[in-house]
Amino acid sequence: MSNKQEIFENVKTLIVDRFGVAEDSVTEEMTFEDLGADSLDIVEFVMELEDQYSIEFEDEKIEKLNNIKDAVDYIDQLKNNQ
């Protein structure tokens, strides 16, 4: 399993736990809007990801996350730069 696939599986688990959606409905193309997430939900979710991966998202980058794939790609990028 690739790094990005592992990150996606982990992010998917967090999404299911936090937003109460069915696991099989979570796709890389899913947006935070699809999840019914407001800005506070997104910030809390990002903080959870930061804690889990010991990384720090740039504020400007958070605003540019359009879908789950964007978040996975950014996590992978930050992990590779550590």
Q: How many CA within 13 A on the CB side of residue 53?
A: 28
DSSP state of 48: H
DSSP for 54-70?
Answer: T----HHHHHT--SHHH
Residues carrying an active site annotation: 38
